[in-house]
C-alpha cells in the first residue's frame, strides 16, 4: 500500500511502502492465539514448600521450629543467646525468669538449625501426633522448665563449692536440650530387650540416649545442659514426674468452646486429644496421621494434619507405644484401638444374637402395621 499523506502537516514519501501482516479472520482466532501464547504461570517453589510444611507439620512442632528459624535470622543483627538463653547470672541475679522457658527456642548457627529440623521433624511430629497438640505442648515446656531449673541448681552449687564465676555464666540453650529429654523419655518406656540402630551399631534402647549424648560431647564438647536434659527425660520416662502430669480430661476442657485453647483448635495442624493417633504414630512405615482422617496410602512420611471436627467424639486416652524401641512405652496395655466389649465367640452366642435381632425387626414391623 502506498501512503501519500498522513495528515495535513506530515508528508510521506510516495515511494515508501508499509507491509501489513495478516490478521485473524474472526475473534475466535484471536482468543486461541492469546491462550496459546500465555499459559498458567509456574508455581512458586518456595510457596509450595511452605504450604507443604504447614500442611504436614503439627501445630506445636511447627511453632517451635518457626521460633528457632526466627531466632537464627535474628542472630544476624543481635545475639539471641545473650537475650534469651538460660544463664544463671541473668536468670537469678537479674530476675529474668523468662529465660527458663525461652532457652530451647534459640539458634545462632546454620548447623544447629539443620540438626534441629532433622531431629525435631522426626521425634516432634510423631510425638505430637501420638499425644495431641495440647499434651505435647505441656510435655515440651515441662521438660524445658525442669531441665533449666536443675541446671540453675547445679550451677549455683558448683559456684558455691568452687567460687568460680564461670558457672554463673554457663549457658543452657538450644532445642536439643529438650529433644534429648524426649528421646530419653521414649527409651525409658520402651521394652527393655529392644535395640536401636545408630549408624551401623545396634544399641540397647535404655542406653541409646547415653550413647547419643557421648556422640554429641565428642563433636561439640561437654555440655551440662544436655546431660541434665537426658536425666530429666529418664525421670519422666520412669514416672518420677507424674505428679505434674496434666490429665486428659483437663486437656479436653482446654479444647472446649470456653477453654483456653479454643483459639488454636481451628488452626491448621492442631491435633486434639480425641483425634491423637496414639501408638499408631510411631508404627514402622506409617504416616502417623494425627487427625480424624487417616491416610489410605502406604507412604512413610507424615500425612496432612487438619483440625478435628469434634473434640468430644472419642473418650480414648492417648498412650505411648510399647514395642520395638522405636516408640514411647505404653501407659495403657490395651492401646487406643482396643474394643470395650467382647465379640461373640461360640456358635450359640452368635445364634442368640441373630435371633434377638430378628425378633426386634419383627416387633418393629408389627408396630408399623398396627400404626397403619
The helix (run of H) or strand (run of E) holding residue 313 is: none
Q: Under 8 Å CB-to-CB from 358, ≥6 apart: which residues? A: none
Whether the model clears a pTM of 0.75, i.e. scores above it, the answer is no
pLDDT grade for 28, boundaries at 50, 70 and 90: low
Measured CA to CA in angstroms, residue 96 lies from 103, 148, 276 at distances of 12, 13, 36
Cα gap 33→36, rounded to integer Å: 5
Cα gap 25→162, rounded to integer Å: 95
Q: Is 368 exposed, middle or buried (0-12, 13-18, 19+ CB in 10 A)?
A: exposed
Q: Under 8 Å CB-to-CB from 18, ≥6 apart: which residues? A: 1, 3
Q: Look at residues 114, 87, 111, 86 and name the one whose alpha carbon lies nearest to residue 100.
A: 86
pLDDT value at residue 40: 64
pLDDT grade for 297, boundaries at 50, 70 and 90: very low
3-state secondary structure 317-332: CCCCCCCCCCCCCCCC
Residue 32 grid coordinates: 486461541
pLDDT value at residue 219: 85
Averaged pLDDT, 50-73: 90
More confident residue, 68 or 27: 68
pLDDT grade for 335, boundaries at 50, 70 and 90: very low
Q: Is 71:80 a contact under the CB 8 Å cutoff?
A: yes
* Tens-digit pLDDT profile for residues 134-167: 999 999 999 999 999 999 999 999 999 999 988 9
Amino acid at each position: 500500500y502506498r501512503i501519500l499523506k498522513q495528515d495535513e502537516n506530515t508528508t510521506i514519501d510516495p515511494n515508501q511502502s508499509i507491509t501489513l501482516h495478516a490478521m485473524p479472520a474472526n475473534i475466535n482466532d484471536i482468543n486461541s492465539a492469546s491462550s496459546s501464547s500465555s499459559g498458567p504461570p509456574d508455581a512458586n517453589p518456595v510457596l509450595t514448600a511452605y504450604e507443604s510444611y504447614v500442611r504436614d507439620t503439627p501445630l506445636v512442632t511447627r511453632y517451635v521450629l518457626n521460633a528457632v528459624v526466627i531466632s537464627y535470622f535474628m542472630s544476624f543483627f543481635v545475639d539471641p543467646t545473650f537475650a534469651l538463653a538460660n544463664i544463671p547470672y541473668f536468670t537469678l541475679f537479674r530476675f529474668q525468669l523468662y529465660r527458663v522457658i525461652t532457652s530451647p527456642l534459640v539458634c545462632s548457627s546454620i548447623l544447629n538449625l539443620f540438626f534441629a529440623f532433622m531431629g525435631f521433624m522426626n521425634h516432634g511430629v510423631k510425638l505430637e501426633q501420638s499425644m495431641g497438640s495440647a499434651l505435647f505442648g505441656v510435655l515440651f515446656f515441662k521438660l524445658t522448665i525442669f531441665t533449666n531449673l536443675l541446671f540453675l541448681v547445679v550451677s549455683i552449687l558448683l559456684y558455691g563449692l568452687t567460687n568460680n564465676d564461670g558457672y554463673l555464666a554457663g549457658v543452657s540453650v538450644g532445642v536439643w536440650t529438650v529433644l534429648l529429654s524426649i528421646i530419653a523419655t521414649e527409651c525409658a518406656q520402651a521394652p527393655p530387650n529392644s535395640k536401636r540402630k545408630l549408624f551401623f551399631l545396634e544399641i540397647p534402647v535404655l542406653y541409646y540416649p547415653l550413647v547419643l549424648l557421648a556422640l554429641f560431647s565428642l563433636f561439640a564438647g561437654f555440655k551440662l545442659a544436655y546431660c541434665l536434659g537426658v536425666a530429666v527425660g529418664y525421670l519422666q520416662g520412669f514416672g518420677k514426674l507424674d505428679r505434674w502430669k496434666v490429665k486428659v480430661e483437663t486437656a479436653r476442657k482446654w479444647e472446649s468452646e470456653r477453654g483456653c485453647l479454643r483459639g488454636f483448635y481451628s488452626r491448621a495442624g492442631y491435633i486434639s486429644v480425641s483425634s491423637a493417633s496414639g501408638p499408631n504414630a510411631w508404627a514402622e512405615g506409617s504416616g502417623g496421621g494425627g487427625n480424624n482422617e487417616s491416610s489410605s496410602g502406604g507412604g512413610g512420611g507424615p500425612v496432612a494434619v487438619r483440625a478435628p471436627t469434634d473434640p468430644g467424639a472419642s473418650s480414648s486416652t492417648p498412650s505411648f507405644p510399647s514395642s520395638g524401641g522405636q516408640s514411647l512405652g505404653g501407659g495403657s496395655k490395651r492401646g487406643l484401638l482396643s474394643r470395650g466389649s467382647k465379640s461373640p465367640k461360640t456358635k450359640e452366642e452368635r445364634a442368640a444374637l441373630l435371633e434377638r435381632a430378628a425378633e426386634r425387626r419383627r416387633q418393629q414391623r408389627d408396630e408399623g402395621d398396627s400404626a397403619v
